[in-house]
Amino acid sequence: MEKVAFLFCVHNHQPVGNFLHILEYAYEKAYLPFIEVLKKYPFMKISIHYTGILWDFFKDHHPEFLETLKGLVKKGQLEMMTGGYYEPILAVIPDADKVGQIRRLTQKIKEEMGVTPQGMWLAERVWEPHLPKYLKEAGVEYVTIDDYHFKKSGLREEDLFGYYLTEEEGKVLKVFPGNETLRYIIPFHPPEETLEFLSRLRGSSKAAIFADDGEKFGIWPYTYHSVYEEGWLERFFQLIGENLDWIEPMPLGTYAHCRKPLGRVYLACSSYMEMDEWSLPTEAMVEYGKVIEPLKDSAEGKQIRMFLKGGFWRNFFAKYPESNDLHKRTLHLREKIGNQKRRVVPDREDPLLYLHRAQCNDAYWHGVFGGLYLPHLRHALYENLIRAERLYDQKAHREKEWIEVERLDFNGDGDEEVLLKNPEIVLLFSSRGGSLLEMDDRGKAFNILGTLTRRKEGYHQKLLHERGQGSRDEASTAKTKTIHEIFDSKEEGLDQYLQFDAYRKTSFLDHFIPEPMDFESFRKGPYPGEGDFIEESYEIEIRGERKHPEVFFFRSGGLARIGKRDPIRIEKSFTIPANQKIVKASYQISYQGERRKTNFGIELNINLLAGDAPDRYYQIPGHPLEDQRLASAGEIKEVTEAHLVDEWNKMEVVLKTDQRCTLWRFPIETVSLSESGFERIYQGSCLLLSWPLELEPGKQFGFEIELGIQHL
């Protein structure tokens, strides 16, 4: 009697920029103990994938672990899988980088393990139909995704116990459907349930396919206790060993080599089920949840769900403009770098090395996983992008002093942008609001304006629902839950931080604020100002000489008055001195309406990554602060200068104005959901400089502001 093939595939990944102590924790709680248990059961032959970030970590910090892996590869217990080196979403990076990133990881595995992998893990299982062509070019023979992808193409669950063939331009690829049931019960339900599932396949030639994250074996909430301390994994492998008369554990590659395909399939654009849900706009995500939830427990629900699909991964670029800007910045630079012949492994002077790191997927999206809401992960991608661009510009510009300006809609949002840079800084302006989106210190590889806007997310309703229910013993109830079912809160009263912005939190945003000015209302947002300049487009002109360009914005708008609007015009220009980390802004305001009073404010949003760290703080000359934290809030009058000091990175941001102003400061904090529950995250500091204006027909006002970066 033919045995049931059990294909067990584990994927392991940590994002570019994750803290070293997090990687060490993952190693100690998941990566090492999993392999230590596996070693005891030589009949367990599995497929395993580590991203390039982890290969580098093991090489630098745990070379003994690589020796252990190599021994298991030689014994035939481990089949190594390749993928994009820095775990990019392959579908949304240039084709040359698809192939280049895969070949680089394949080369690393060949060097360390002595084998050339044939199979590949697809990051976040984001599938698009053009991929087979490039995966085959990179040397990939098969890939594993979810059975969800196949069901959306009309296949039934009973048809998904093997692999299928697909192709693009005749380039044929083998695709394995990972089983949804196994993904949800391993390792959250007793191991006997998996054996019971496998027993349903006895007497057939079917293959049971498990393919999921290795982190669920130790670092997902409560899993270290259940998987290792309570012995789930040991018991699971023991049960497999007791039933080898009808179960045959084998790697995916072995099965692909010795068994025939189940047929041909063409898969629609998709990821796993939860990711498709998360990529929807917030309102649609809520409505989608209302449709899906009742189906999970209904008799006909499984059949109906086959034909229901959420969104599409690329929609994250529409949902989060911060993600889109970063992605399009990498594409813009990649186009400049070009595709000249390179080594498989770029050297440290090749900008492509850092650009590949900036393609790491985690900070481009958000769900339960996904690091868009984690400032240190966004910073890591900008850090690598800035390093790549600096290396490119060093080769492109031979002179010591230069200033370059580009005008284009680089991010495809319908508004023009301007890139202004010298050897020390890069500025990215948008015509929308005449605002500054990005300011990069090239020496520190740091974008000081990387603030995330406070947005309403679909899961915020769960937080409001949980309010007032009291504390619960989550440790006793959550250990059998998957990560998609845990909604703990890391602190009490998080619902009070559910404050949302009416506009994107960029810099040099122009406000007209009526009397009396209300600090708390402005802080909590959205705030009904009198002007119409925040979200409207400004006209752009590039003035001055080539070596001394000036980015000039202007817009004629209005101030709200009962029954009409008073005409007012803002002109503002930005310049950067050669070889300095300073942007100088010059404002001119012209008014033609009836006599009235208002307050003019300029908003900036600055993120030095830590709001409560003692080595990051405010200094306001002439105004000693009781609370200097970047997460502090308050009003200070008669200010001409403000410093945001970052001792950790040995830099400070300096803001100066030529006229005394009132300074409001407060933290931008979001409430987001992560694998361990709801948490409050500091996303940056908002600063509003304001001046009272006595408006009369024909009257003009001028302001000079300077934003700079100094190294300590």
pLDDT digits (tens, 9 = 90+) for 328-352: 999 999 999 987 666 667 777 899 9
For residue 473, indicate whether it is catalytic. no
pLDDT score of 567: 96
Mean per-residue pLDDT over the chain, rounded: 93
User: How would you label 28-45 residue by residue, b for 16+ Cβ within 10 Å and e otherwise?
Assistant: ebbbbbbbebbeebeebb
Of these residues, 79, 112, 124, 128, which one is catalytic?
A: 124
Percent helix, percent strand, percent coil in the chain, to nearest 5: 30, 30, 35
Question: Which of the pair, 132 or 462, is modelled with greater confidence?
Answer: 132
pLDDT digits (tens, 9 = 90+) for 406-441: 999 999 999 999 999 999 999 999 999 999 999 999
Q: Where are the domains of the chain?
A: 4-270, 273-309, 312-396, 404-712
Q: 587: part of which helix (H) or strand (E)?
A: strand 582-591
Instruction: Give residue 462's pLDDT band: very low, low, confident or very high (50, 70, 90).
Output: confident
pLDDT at position 14 over 70? yes
pLDDT at position 476 over 60? no
d(CA 171, CA 141): 10
pLDDT score of 340: 65
Alpha helices in 131-250 (DSSP H): 131-137, 147-151, 180-185, 191-199, 223-224, 232-241
User: Is residue 334 a contact partner of residue 306, using CB atoms and an 8 Å limit?
Assistant: no
Closest CA to 45 of 73, 3, 14, 12: 73
pLDDT at position 712 over 60? yes
Alpha helices in 297-444 (DSSP H): 301-305, 316-319, 321-337, 351-357, 375-396
pLDDT digits (tens, 9 = 90+) for 603-641: 999 999 999 999 999 999 999 999 999 999 999 999 999
Closest CA to 87 of 451, 380, 501: 380
d(CA 374, CA 458): 18
Q: In 3-state terms, what secondary structure has residue 161?
A: coil
Sign of CA dihedral 377, 382, 385, 386: negative
Please write down the long-range contacts of 62-66, taking CB distance under 8 Å and 24 or more positions apart: 62/27, 62/32, 65/27, 65/31, 65/32, 65/35, 66/112
Whether 4-270 shares its CATH topology with 404-712 is answered: no
User: Is residue 617 a contact partner of residue 627, using CB atoms and an 8 Å limit?
Assistant: no
pLDDT score of 28: 98
d(CA 107, CA 66): 15
CA atoms within 13 A on the CB side of 211: 31
> Cβ–Cβ contacts within 10 Å for residue 520, how many?
9
pLDDT score of 687: 98
pLDDT digits (tens, 9 = 90+) for 126-182: 999 999 999 999 999 999 999 999 999 999 999 999 999 999 999 999 999 999 999
d(CA 322, CA 320): 5
Region 643-655 average pLDDT: 97
% pLDDT > 70, the chain: 96
pLDDT at position 13 over 60? yes
Of these residues, 213, 274, 474, 641, which one is catalytic?
A: 213
pLDDT score of 341: 63
pLDDT at position 486 over 60? no
Residue 220: both structure tokens together: 């997902």
CATH architecture group of domain 404-712: Distorted Sandwich (2.70)
> Cβ–Cβ contacts within 10 Å for residue 121, how many?
27
pLDDT digits (tens, 9 = 90+) for 386-395: 999 999 999 9
What are phi and psi for residue 177, nearest 5 degrees?
-95, 110
pTM score, whole prediction: 0.94
Unique residue bearing structure tokens 């790491």? 360
d(CA 476, CA 82): 38
Residue 271: both structure tokens together: 């990821």
Rg of the chain taking only CA atoms, in angstroms:
28
pLDDT score of 491: 80
Region 451-455 average pLDDT: 96
Region 552-557 average pLDDT: 97
Pick the CATH number of 4-270 from 3.30.70.980, 3.40.50.150, 3.10.50.40, 3.20.110.20: 3.20.110.20
Which whole-number Å values give the CA distances from 466 to 313, 461, 492, in the listed order?
29, 9, 11
> Cβ–Cβ contacts within 10 Å for residue 200, how many?
11
Tell me how far the alpha carbon of residue 180 is from its chain's centroid: 25
For residue 124, indicate whether it is catalytic. yes
pLDDT score of 407: 95
Unique residue bearing structure tokens 């240039």? 94
pLDDT score of 434: 97
Q: 482: part of which helix (H) or strand (E)?
A: none
